[in-house]
Amino acid sequence: MKIGIIGGAGYTGGELLRILLHHPNAEIAFVHSNSQAGKPVWATHTDLVGDTDLTFTDQSDSGEAEVLFLCSGHGESEKFLNENPLSEGQKLIDLSTDFRDESEGFVYGLPELQRETIRTAQRIANPGCFATSIELALLPLAGAGLLKNSVHVSAITGSTGAGQALAATNHFSWRSNNVSIYKAFTHQHLAEIGMSLRKNQPDFTHRVHFIPYRGAFTRGILANVYTDFAGSLADAKELYFKYYESHPFTHLSEAPVDVKQVVGTNKCLLHLEIHDGQLLVSSVIDNLTKGASGQAVQNMNLIFGLEETVGLQLRAIGF
């Protein structure tokens, strides 16, 4: 499969390159970047020294690619498509927020929610990172019609979740030894979370109360999600195990989970507890893999009829 990457100089573009350079069915036709055009890819993504001789280009060359990955900032994907119409049969996977409402023929690309629909899609809107971790914590409940009340979420993400653009809150001296909340109850991922839950439980109308935190680390998300649950812990575990038993990247853990278990992988790990009629679901993912580029490759695999795990058997850092 010939692949084009638009916006390849950022975090998600770099992560996509790391995966696709070792994907047995992928050939990268070009990597686009307005800011780095003419420079070797390894000069920006320095960990790729010796892995590739690709050079950034400021020409989209989109006709060369069977599948395009859009890794530019939010709002840029819509602009790109207006200026660069796709050729017939060309696939598109967008990692921005632009089409997550499934407008313009896009399909929301969460395989654990609608894998069969993704297989026949031409255009995929890749889910957001916080949205992925929270949705995976709640989809089994929604699928059983058990979201009977409001949902409460407290989640923390690493600095790469904010992108590469310079900002005071991304500066090392501010982030280090620090933690803060932002966009409490108003985060942009709430819209897609609500949409996804209603796909599994159409009558879900309750609020999702979401408080995001900035963490003093680079990669990973830990989301603690809780809501009313009338059953036992054994009931909850059976529900979650059955929902995810055919999905290769989402796993139920008997022990409490932590971010280091998933950093560098395309996995989501879930841990369940019951407290006074509340089901607490702890969910951990890497925001750059399962929360972005890894999930994008998972969607590509599905579109092209491959096993969704191809090229994604990645290992965690451990220590």
Determine the Cα–Cα distance for residues 8 and 215; give it in Å rounded to an integer: 25
Residues present in the chain in total:
319
Determine the Cα–Cα distance for residues 223 and 282; give it in Å rounded to an integer: 6
Residue in 43, 251, 34 with CA at minimum distance from that of residue 17:
43
Q: Which two tokens stand for residue 270?
A: 């879930």
DSSP bridge pairs for 222: 156, 284
The Cα diameter of the chain in Å comes to: 60
Show the beta-strand stretches assigned E in 174-277: 180-181, 208-214, 221-228, 250-252, 268-275
Q: Which is the catalytic residue, given 113, 129, 279, 296?
A: 129
Residue in 132, 161, 7 with CA at minimum distance from that of residue 69:
7
CA 75 to chain centre: 18
Q: Is 71 annotated as catalytic?
A: no
Query: Kind of pairing, strands 107-108 and 91-94?
Result: unpaired
Calculate helix-pair angle for 233-244, 129-143, nearest 10 degrees. 110
Q: Which two tokens stand for residue 7?
A: 């916006």
Determine the Cα–Cα distance for residues 246 and 270; give it in Å rounded to an integer: 15
Determine the Cα–Cα distance for residues 202 and 207; give it in Å rounded to an integer: 14
Q: Which two tokens stand for residue 23?
A: 């994907």
Find the angle CA(263)-CA(268)-CA(272) to the nearest 5 degrees.
Answer: 120
Tokens 């696939």 correspond to: 91
Q: Looking at the annotation, which residues are catalytic?
A: 129
